Structures are given as structure tokens and as C-alpha cells.
Structure 1
Amino acid sequence: LERIEIVRGPYSALYGGTAMGGVINLISADPGKPLTELRLGAGNLGQRGMSLVHRQRYESGLGVSLAVGYRESTGDPNAEEVVKPTTTGAPGTPVTGAVPTTTAAGAPAYMIGVRGARPWSQDHAMLTLHHAPSAATRLAAGIAWGEYRVGYSRPQTLLRNAAGGEVFSGALGVDGARMNVAGTDFLSATPTRERDLRLFARADHRFAGGTRLQAHVSTYRHRFDYAQPVSGVSTYDGGNGDFVRQPNARTDLDVSLNMPVRADWMLVAGVAAGRSSMDRGTVSLANWRDASSASTQINAGKGSTNNQAVFVQSEHMLSDTLTAYVGGRFDRFETEGEVSQDTAPAFLQAFPKRSFSRFSPTVAMVWRATPGLSLRASYGAGFRPPALLDMYSRVVTPGSTAGAVVVVDAAPDLRPERVQALEIGADARLPGGADLSATIYKQQLDDLIYRRRLSAQLSRTENAGRADVDGIEVRAGWPFGITGVRGFASLTHQFRYEITDNPAAPASVGKNLTDVPQTVWSLGLQFDRQPWSGQVVYRHVSRVFGSGDDLNQNLAQGVYGAYDAYGTASARIRYQVDRQLSLALSVDNLTDRRYYVLTRQPGRTVFAELAWRF
């Protein structure tokens, strides 16, 4: 990558419904800047990695960009704890070793073991061919592929019987109470595999007079599958299970014209179209460790969406110091799908085609008040269409409490989530080389898509009436008084981020939005004094209420299933041995802090890397 551009919020008219929170634009490096670099690395937790990058433009005019990489780890053996509550009834066989704890909701429970490390590996490759038939025209096409795999290892139990033997199942007695433990409580939904394939092509042509035509087409194929045991039946080595496959596909096309109407007026206009599809199914396995042992189908869900859009954005330089932006995008979506179940009670529900349209306007002003100070204000509206997975599938996954499952029902009637956003900000370059940026924002979300808990095991994705978010974002950088050393800091804080109206679930009104921290801040130091360079960063994230906890009931911290408030420090140091060779060392969670983000997070991790440029 040459650079990364970020536009926060729904303040660009050029993008559609998946960009209501902002846009991240990855700019690929030009093959005209030749580079061949090999990186090799290793670290704790069995980490190993390799990557190769090659960029070159040959005499024929053909440019080649190639990137391949591989990364693996044996996994964290302590990440997935087995947490189990006691139940009513007479105590069973006495055991020792259970560690008192609570569930995320604060109910008494015991930690009785760990599910074992989940070794993982990922690899990727990307090839892009560039050609410029003339000085005004640039063409590119390529293919990208990636795969991510997660394995399994034997679980460990803390439970011991009177003879000191390991106990994995049975009606047990723990501290005078009954606990029913199944062998499947110690098992995780593995192996899993994820595979991506993307084909793309783009064209860029500059006409006489400065008008620029850009076109981009891509097709993406994603396959995700995993196996899980049947609760209370399977063992670590085998037994009945389920296999979930979830292939989906997406094709996109967009064409735009960037036209200089006058010296002080730029206009961008274009069209876009796309199609997405999903075909999810669950089949039974005779052996849950063997995907080829599939037999009958249990349930299925499939669906598709089509969308078309037109957009325009106009940039007006009203004076040397004042610029205005105004634009809008009109999107039309169609969707249809079906959900079926082949076990009792069997059913097939087909959901006919329905459509919805949205217009998303934007307006912004930027005033360069002084050479070192810019003031800005923006208003934008956007939307996010519901995901095919939420509308047309019934998902069953293991819960954070051993033996429990979480069922998320299909929600075929979901409406698009809408947002109106307003922000006011300033960017300043201060004397001495410091810089400061501050933004105050207000957002109103209607038909918010969120997950509502209907019972301890059943949730459904629904539209809430309304949610409001008010917050501030601040970023700063400053020289540290030492050559090559610079400090930096950032803060995002939500003054308000709560559901303000929800007739379907009045108890959720006033509750904080799920999956959103109230405060995130970081403070760091960068240095670059060749041949040494690096940085040290401390990052803090406040407590989060996870998906499905729409009533904010999970208040426990420091236990499995919780989303803790935490702060971690990380560091990276690099030494440039010569023009070709460099050495680097990265350390995350420097203080080896123990905390949970659903699962227990890794302690201190170390990764060393060697880079060689040819």
C-alpha cells in the first residue's frame, strides 16, 4: 500500500449503504516504484510468518505487483475457559479443582477447565497487472486469494475425583452442590475454514481539459464453514455433529466522471450497481471431525440483493479560503430469500421480493481561517441495508456458559438502518511543529439494526426505533524536544450513545448501544533516529456491552464472556542494518495484563522480524 485515506461518517456522496460509518480507501503502490522485499518472522505462541512483495514496471510497459504471505500460531491455550453453573438436585460424585467465578451477568458459576489452544494459519496472495497504453490511460486487473484455518487441540479439565483422576463428564458434586457436566462442554466449534477469492479490473482515463473517467468492476467469492459437536453426545475424537457451510458472493460495478466545470468548480458524477447472494446450510455429520461424513440437511437459508445507484458531488471554491461541498446519492435495493428446516417441525418459508430506496444528501464547508487553522462543518445522511445473514438464516452457536447454545432467528422483515449526522471541527498547525484536530459530532440513528435477547438462549436481529450518539474526537501530535522524537495522542468519547425510542422493547430505552465503547484513548511516542526507529503506545478501551445484551445486564468484569475495560501497552523497535537488511521486534501487552473481550485475551506476545530488500 502507498497510503490509506479515511473519511469518517456519512459525509461523502460517492459511496452507498455500507459506508454510513465512513470510508477507508486503500491506495495501492505504483509499480513504477520498484521493490522486492522478503520478510521472515517468529514469536511466542508458535507464531511464524513470511511475506514477499515484488513491484516492477518492465520495458514493455507492463507493471507487475505481487504480494504473498503466510502466518501461523499454535494459539493461546488459556483463551477459552469452560464456565459452568451448579444446578438443583442432590450432589453427584464429589470432585475438586473447580474455581469459583461468575457468568458475564454476575450469576455464580465455576471455571472447570479450558477448551485447549486453537492453532490457526492464514495465507494470501495478490497479483495485479498494470498497463498504460497512453499517457492519459491507465489499466489494471488482478486476482486476490486468501485462506484462514482454525484447528483444535485437546481440552484440559481442572476437575479431579477422589483418586486424583481427570473428570470430563457426569453428575458431579462441587462444594456441596450438583453440577451436570458433559464432555461436549469442553469442545469448541472447530475446525473452521474461511476462503476468499476476488477478481477485479479498473480503468482510469484523463481527457483533454482535465475530465477524468474512472471505472471499477470486481467480483468476490467468500466461503466460510465450520463443524460443531452435538451437545451431550459427541467426544473430542468424534461422534455426531453439525457442519455449517456459508458461501456468499458479491459483484460490484461503479463508473464516475470527475469534471472541472470551472477553475473554481469541480463536479463528480457516476453510477453504481451490485449484486450479493448467500446460500447457507447446516448438515448432520456422522463424525463431527470429518466434514466428508455429511448426511442429511438440517436447515438452510439463502437470499440475494440487487442494488443500483446514481450519485453526484460538487466542490465549489467560493474564495481562496472557503470551500463548499454538496452532493447526494440515490440507492435502490431489492431483496428476496427463503429459510427452511428439514427436522421436525419441518417448514419452508419463502419471502417474496421487496424493495426500498434511499436518498443520502451531504453538505460541508471548510474555511481556512489562517494559514495554520481550518474550521469545518458537515451534515450527511446515510443508511445500511440489512445483511443477508441476518434476514435469511437461523444461526446456532455455543454460548459463553458451557453446554448452552445461542440461537439467532431469521429476520426477513428487517428495514435499512438510517443515520443523520452533524459534525463541527477544527484542524490546527501550532508553532513549534505541533498539530491538533478536534471534532464534535451528533448522530441520530433510526431503525437501528441490533440484536435483541428474547430469552436466555434465543435472540433476534431487529430494528429499534431510534438511537442517539453525541461525542467528541481529538487527535494531537507534537515534537518532544529531541531530534527525531514525536508524541501523539487520540481520544474518542461518547457523551451519549443510547436507544431513545423502541416500542417493540420499551425496557431497552435508555440503554447503551451494544458493541460500542464509551471511551477509547491512546498516548504514544514515535522516534526515528537512524538506524533506529520505533514507537511505544498505550491504549485504553472502556467496557462494552456485547451483541445480544441490549438490556445491559452483563455487568461482571474479569470473567469469561465479559467485555472488560482494559488498557494495554505495545512497542515496536526497528534497526536498519544497511540499505538492504533491517531487524524489528514487536511486543504487545507489555505488562502481560489479564483481561477478557468475550474470551481471555493473550498475555504478552512477542514477534521478531527480518526484512531483506533485494
Structure 2
Amino acid sequence: MASTSQNRFRRGVFCAPVFFGIYCLASSTGALGDSASSSADTRPRLLETVVVTGTRTPYSLADAPVEVQLIGPEDIKASGARDVAELLEREGGVYASRESGRGTSIQIQGLSSEHVLVLVNGRRMIGRINGAIDLSRFHIADIERVEIVKGPSSALYGGDALGGVVNIITRRGADGEPGGVVTLRGDSEGNGDAFARADLVADSVSASVSAGYSRLAGFDLDDSTFAEDGVSGESSFGSLSGRWQASEGFDLGFDASYSLDDTERRDGGTGGKQYATYKQIEEVRVGVQPRIHFDDSSLTLDMYYNRYADQFLQDQLGSTENTIDEETINELLFGGGQWDVSPGWLNTLPGQHTLSLGAEFQLERLDADRLGQSAERDRQSLYVQDDILLGNERLHLIPGVRFDRDSQFGQQVSPKLSLRYDISDSLFTRLGYGRGYRPPSFRELLLRFDNPAVGYRVEGELDLEPEKSTGFNAGLTWLAGEQHSVSISAFHNDVDDLIEIIQVESTPTILFSYRNVAHATVSGVDVQWTWQGQTWPLRLELGYGHLWSEDEATGDELSGRPEQRVNLAVSLDKPRYSLGLRGTWTGERVFAVELDSGGAPTSAGEAEAYALVDARASWKGFAPLLLSLGVDNMTDAGDPQYLPIQPRSYYLEVSWSL
């Protein structure tokens, strides 16, 4: 952002330099081993990957009693994505889409971003924009894997997890030898990225230090208008994470991160008015996680702090009128613990039992010019879960319940039940049931926002009730030898007291507010097939999802939900090179009126079907140098109203492993 615009913010944003010296540090850590590996080993390694999100306890992916969609390190590397938003836009089983002025939203099982809990290393993220955590703020370069849990099995995570949980897991240090990587990337649209990471090992301590810088080039999908569809600017981040193994019975995880995004864009208003919109987002996260191991149990504690600062400035060009200058500061303080134990008295009952007992406390504060007042809420939570193995370990039963006390909305109880039954060594079924809730956000309760440029006002509603949901999942997975796997899943969600924004006055300024007006049902099926070649390192993935959604009050389908979606991925991984093609086809969507935090509302209408397809080729023959060429958005999809994404672009990426 230009310095002239920075000076107009009422409060300065404290800055931290990006640690480009990491490159020098990484250079001294020694060379990594050859990263090329046989594609035939990919599937066994993937099934052995330990996942933690579904049950809050570790399981290999193949043995997990709750279905977890895993996007692993090799998938992330082959995707060519720059951030989590780009990664999930091309994935099956979830629906992520860009929204003008609102970042990226995500839907899981037909429930919108407000009902999806986004975690980083198991920790709740703050800083929602119009109800959504903008996934483009999480840089791929710092991420090890993404775990997605859908539907009722996420009840143990508490509020906001009606639809599911997205857990973004960052690198936690080297497992063996030290090393590092330096990556440079540029594309035909003028975007650029520089990233460096060092993995360090010293006696009982392992750590990862990383930093990155991105240059964003704006784009415009409609040259006939003044408004732009993409922001331009700069983004930088730095992070440190690791673990200290103090003794056989005690270890300490630690992490800290800082990011700063500085962007601008042209916007249009009513009557031909023109605006320059500037935005500066700064985020700080810091936490520690002590873990104590006993003979038959373990205790994990977690403490962290998250600060999200958003400064928004919108100037009318050629006039001092209709200027918006606002600041939002969102803070979260969290403390919690989980005790995993196999108590002797439970062994008198049938089966093998592992009991998980947890307690959490969180204090959230929001200070925003758009609120009528500063807001603060605290929550205390208790949960218990019993992991039971029965029937020669073929039947896996996990009942659980969570109790939440919210300082604004009182008490909530969220039960859940998960079941897995192994019909044979290669065929198993999973069932899930859960009840969840979502308390109204500060924005829905207290918002006071005037947009004179467009002619509307939004006011919160203090009398809102929490949304409540009941969900069911059923799935069948067949691991047909070492080449094929097929999974079929079905779901149904019933949501009461759904909060929607409605027009309550029409003159002289249009007034919108929030109400508990809707009862919605969402059902669907999802089919995924994977084939892995044995003599030829070729991998195919194909999936199809169908969704039925309905607002019970009107009979209309819910806004922005595609009825059909197809995903496809093809990859060839040879020792000296790799080729990949991945994409999705999304069917038509029907939209209701949606409000933008800066520009004009998105009008109601129907969006056409579209396909997003990316291609990537990598050459490994110059190891430790990796050279990649790629095409993003090969079909040149995009719509300034309903799909404001960057047009087709070509990129070159160079990575050097150290």
C-alpha cells in the first residue's frame, strides 16, 4: 500500500521484518536426501499417515474410526497451489470459492463458512470476514498437511463446527537430519513469491524456521467497469515452530508466527462514484503445548494467544465525502488440557477402552468501529470421549459428549457417536451422529455498518438465539488390493434457528439485519475412486458429489450451494520428472442477495457451471534443484459477480533443497 494511504489510518500497525537471513541459516544445515520416491510407495505411506482431527487422538489414516479427508505433503507439493484457498478449490469432498471482497469461503456437506471451524494445529482461528475465515491468508509453503472432518463427528470441537472442521497442520521441525528449502516463483500475471525454510535438529530440540514474501497483482474481469476484481499488494510472514524432548516422559511444543498483508483495489459505487479501497491485515499467533507421559496415560496442555488486526480505508476519488476509515482488533486467549487414559476399572467392561477427558477456557474480545460497543465473551468447556474396541477389534465405537458454557448464551450440550465396523480386512463401514450449535457472532449481534456509497445500512440483533443442528453420516470404504480404493458416503444435516440477513426497511436507506428465520435441511452423497499403478507410476482420482438443500420455510434451495460437483486428478511420478493435472467441475448455483464489507451487495441470480483445471510439470534431474512449470485455471474460468478468480496464468517455480 502506498505510504500516503498508510498515513491515513488512525492507528499504526506494528511491523516485524521478514527474516530473509533464513536462507543463510538453511544453507549451513547440510543437504537433504533425494526427494524423488517411487510412486508405488505413495498409497501405503498415505494410509499409514497419522491423523488426529477426527477423534482428537492419533490414528493411522487406514484405521481411523472417523472419516478424515487428508491432503498430505506430496499432494500439496504436486498441487502448485500458493495458499490453502487455491488448494481446496481443486479438491473433492469440500467446496471452496472466492467471493468478491470477502476472501474465500468454504462449504462442508452443504453448510456454509459460518458452520465450518478452521483450526491451525488444532487451535481455533479468529478474524472472520462476513462469517468466513479467509483461507488465502494461510500460505502453502509453511503447511505440512490438511485434515478435514465432515459432519457430526466434529461435535467435540464445540461451537461453529456444525458442518465440519478444517485442521491446517504446519511443520513442527525435522524428524531426522537437518535441512531446508528455498523456493522462488513468478507467473505471467505479475504475481511473485519467495520462501525459505530451515529444519534444525540439536540434541533434544527440533525446530522449523520459515519466512516468505508474496507480491500480489490485481486483475479485472470486466474492463467496461471501473471496479477491479482482484487486490494488488504485498504479503509477508515469518514463523517458528518446534519441540523440545526434555525427557522420556516430558516434551514441550512451541510455535510463533507473524503475518502482514497490505492490499488495495478499485471499487465502484452507485451513481458512477469511484473508490480506492485499502486494507491492512496483521496477525500474531503464539503458543506452547506441554505433554506429560505416564505409564498408562498422557496429559496434553495447550495455551495460546491469537491477535488479528484489520484496518479498512475506502476513499471516494475526487471527494472527501463517503469515506470509510475503520479498524477491527480481534483477540483470543485459550487454555486447555486433555487427559488420555486406559483406566483399569473400565477393563471390567467388554472391550478395550481409552478414555479422553478434556477441559478448555477461551476469552475472546472484539474492538471494532463497526460495532456499537466493544465486545467480550468467555467460554468454558468440558468433554469426555470413550474409544472402545469390540468384537476382536472389528467393531470400533466412540461415544462422546461436550458441555459448553457461554457467557452470553448459557449452556449447551453436544453429544456425538461414531462407529466403525470392519466387514473384512479390506471392507469397512463408518456411521456418525452428532448434535452441534453455533452461537451468534459479535458481528451478528452488534454490527453497526453504514455504506453510503451504495445506500444501505446493516444492524446487528441482540435477541438472536444460537443455531442448532443434528447430523448423520454413513460411509462404506473398499480397499480393493493395492491398486484400487472406493469410498461412498452419505449425509443429512437438519439446522434449526438458522441466522440469515434480511431486509427490514426500504426507505430512505435500505436497512438489513439478522434474524433466526430459517429451518434448513441439507443431504448429499459423495463417491471417490482412486487407482494406483504398480508397474507404471500413474495415479488416478475421480469423484462425484450431489447435494440437496432446502430452506423449509420457502422451499427454495440454499444460496450458493452447487447441486453437483466432479473432481479429477491425474499424476505421473517418475524418478527424474513428474506430471500432474487436477481440477473440478462445479454445477450451477443460485444466489440470494449477499452483502459485501466494502463494495456493493452481490445481487440475487444464478451462476453458470464452471471448471477449474491446473497442470504442472516438474523436472528432478538437477537435484537438489527442482524446476516446475505450470498453468493455473486452464479453462480461464471467472465471473466478476459470482466467481472473481484470477484468469489463466503460467508460472515458473524453482526450489532448492539444502
Letter in 2 for 1:17: G
Shift of 1:32: 3.1
Shift of 1:51: 0.8
The one of 327, 335, 345 aligned to 1:253: 335
Asked whether 1:192 is paired with 2:279, we answer yes
**Closer/same/farther in 2, CA of residues 449 and 132 from structure 1, 3 Å limit:** same
The one of 444, 451, 459 aligned to 1:390: 444
Asked whether 1:374 is paired with 2:418, we answer no
Shift of 1:219: 0.8
1:330-341 matches, within 5 Å, as: 330-335=403-408
Give CA-to-partner distance per residue, 1:239-269, whole Å, 9 cap, x none: 6612011111111112001112347111111
Q: For residue 201 of structure 1, what is the aligned residue in structure 2?
A: 288
**Closer/same/farther in 2, CA of residues 530 and 397 from structure 1, 3 Å limit:** farther
Name the TM-score, length of structure 1 as normaliser.
0.76
The one of 359, 362, 380 aligned to 1:271: 359
Query: Residue 229 of structure 2 contacts residue 644 of structure 2 at CA under 8 Å; is this kept in 1?
Result: no
The one of 616, 620, 625 aligned to 1:576: 620
Letter in 2 for 1:394: R
The one of 474, 479, 485 aligned to 2:538: 485
User: What is the rounded CA distance, in whole Å, between the counterparts of 2:458 and 2:589 in structure 1?
Assistant: 20
Structure 1 range deviating more: 314-323 or 586-595: 586-595
Shift of 1:25: 3.0
Letter in 1 for 2:205: L
Asked whether 1:499 is paired with 2:551, we answer yes
Q: For residue 326 of structure 1, what is the aligned residue in structure 2?
A: 399
Q: For residue 33 of structure 2, what is the aligned residue in structure 1?
A: none
Shift of 1:528: 0.7
Asked whether 1:149 is paired with 2:262, we answer yes
**Closer/same/farther in 2, CA of residues 366 and 483 from structure 1, 3 Å limit:** same
User: What is the rounded CA distance, in whole Å, between the counterparts of 1:221 and 1:319 in structure 2?
Assistant: 48
Q: For residue 323 of structure 2, what is the aligned residue in structure 1?
A: 241
Shift of 1:379: 0.7
Letter in 1 for 2:202: Y
**Closer/same/farther in 2, CA of residues 243 and 477 from structure 1, 3 Å limit:** same
SS of equivalent residue, structure 1 residue 10: helix
Give CA-to-partner distance per residue, 1:483-539, whole Å, 9 cap, x none: 111110222221x211114xxxxxxx2122224322222112121112112321231
Query: Residue 173 of structure 2 contacts residue 241 of structure 2 at CA under 8 Å; is this kept in 1?
Result: no
The one of 10, 25, 38 aligned to 2:152: 10
Q: For residue 313 of structure 1, what is the aligned residue in structure 2?
A: 385
User: What is the rounded CA distance, in whole Å, between the counterparts of 2:226 and 2:168 in structure 1?
Assistant: 43
Letter in 2 for 1:458: L
The one of 395, 414, 421 aligned to 1:360: 414
The one of 167, 179, 184 aligned to 1:25: 167
Q: For residue 558 of structure 2, what is the aligned residue in structure 1?
A: 513
Letter in 2 for 1:383: Y
Query: Residue 365 of structure 2 contacts residue 376 of structure 2 at CA under 8 Å; is this kept in 1?
Result: yes
Letter in 2 for 1:133: A
**Closer/same/farther in 2, CA of residues 268 and 600 from structure 1, 3 Å limit:** closer
Query: Residue 453 of structure 1 contacts residue 549 of structure 1 at CA under 8 Å; is this kept in 2?
Result: no
Higher Rg? 1
Asked whether 1:124 is paired with 2:231, we answer no
SS of equivalent residue, structure 1 residue 204: strand
**Closer/same/farther in 2, CA of residues 515 and 279 from structure 1, 3 Å limit:** farther
User: What is the rounded CA distance, in whole Å, between the counterparts of 2:455 and 2:608 in structure 1?
Assistant: 22
**Closer/same/farther in 2, CA of residues 595 and 420 from structure 1, 3 Å limit:** same
User: What is the rounded CA distance, in whole Å, between the counterparts of 2:529 and 2:505 in structure 1?
Assistant: 45
RMSD between aligned residues: 2.6
User: What is the rounded CA distance, in whole Å, between the counterparts of 1:198 and 1:329 in structure 2?
Assistant: 26
**Closer/same/farther in 2, CA of residues 116 and 276 from structure 1, 3 Å limit:** closer
Query: Residue 140 of structure 1 contacts residue 203 of structure 1 at CA under 8 Å; is this kept in 2?
Result: yes
Q: For residue 74 of structure 1, what is the aligned residue in structure 2?
A: 217
Q: For residue 493 of structure 2, what is the aligned residue in structure 1?
A: 443
Q: For residue 531 of structure 1, what is the aligned residue in structure 2?
A: 576
Shift of 1:426: 0.4
User: What is the rounded CA distance, in whole Å, between the counterparts of 2:318 and 2:572 in structure 1?
Assistant: 50
Shift of 1:383: 1.0
SS of equivalent residue, structure 1 residue 196: strand
Shift of 1:464: 2.5
1:39-118 matches, within 5 Å, as: 39-59=183-203, 61-76=204-219, 78-79=220-221, 112-115=225-228, 118=231
User: What is the rounded CA distance, in whole Å, between the counterparts of 1:237 and 1:528 in structure 2?
Assistant: 58
Structure 1 range deviating more: 371-380 or 12-21: 12-21
SS of equivalent residue, structure 1 residue 187: strand
User: What is the rounded CA distance, in whole Å, between the counterparts of 1:453 and 1:481 in structure 2?
Assistant: 59
| Greater strand proportion | 1
Query: Residue 211 of structure 2 contacts residue 238 of structure 2 at CA under 8 Å; is this kept in 1?
Result: yes
The one of 199, 203, 212 aligned to 2:298: 212
Query: Residue 221 of structure 2 contacts residue 639 of structure 2 at CA under 8 Å; is this kept in 1?
Result: no
Unaligned runs of 5+ in 1: 82-110, 157-168, 170-179, 283-298, 336-354, 502-508, 558-562
Q: For residue 106 of structure 1, what is the aligned residue in structure 2?
A: none
Query: Residue 611 of structure 2 contacts residue 635 of structure 2 at CA under 8 Å; is this kept in 1?
Result: no
Q: For residue 524 of structure 2, what is the aligned residue in structure 1?
A: 471
Give CA-to-partner distance per residue, 1:89-120, whole Å, 9 cap, x none: xxxxxxxxxxxxxxxxxxxxxx5544486312
Letter in 2 for 1:227: L
User: What is the rounded CA distance, in whole Å, between the counterparts of 1:600 and 1:16 in structure 2?
Assistant: 33
The one of 247, 251, 267 aligned to 1:134: 247
Shift of 1:554: 5.5
Shift of 1:454: 3.7
Query: Residue 302 of structure 1 contacts residue 393 of structure 1 at CA under 8 Å; is this kept in 2?
Result: no
Shift of 1:565: 2.6
User: What is the rounded CA distance, in whole Å, between the counterparts of 2:526 and 2:278 in structure 1?
Assistant: 41
| Greater helix proportion | 2
Query: Residue 493 of structure 1 contacts residue 520 of structure 1 at CA under 8 Å; is this kept in 2?
Result: yes
Unaligned runs of 5+ in 2: 1-142, 596-601
**Closer/same/farther in 2, CA of residues 569 and 268 from structure 1, 3 Å limit:** same
The one of 587, 609, 612 aligned to 2:653: 609
Shift of 1:467: 0.7
User: What is the rounded CA distance, in whole Å, between the counterparts of 1:202 and 1:430 in structure 2?
Assistant: 40
Aligned length: 498
Percent identity of paired positions between Structure 1 and Structure 2: 21
1:345-356 matches, within 5 Å, as: 355-356=409-410
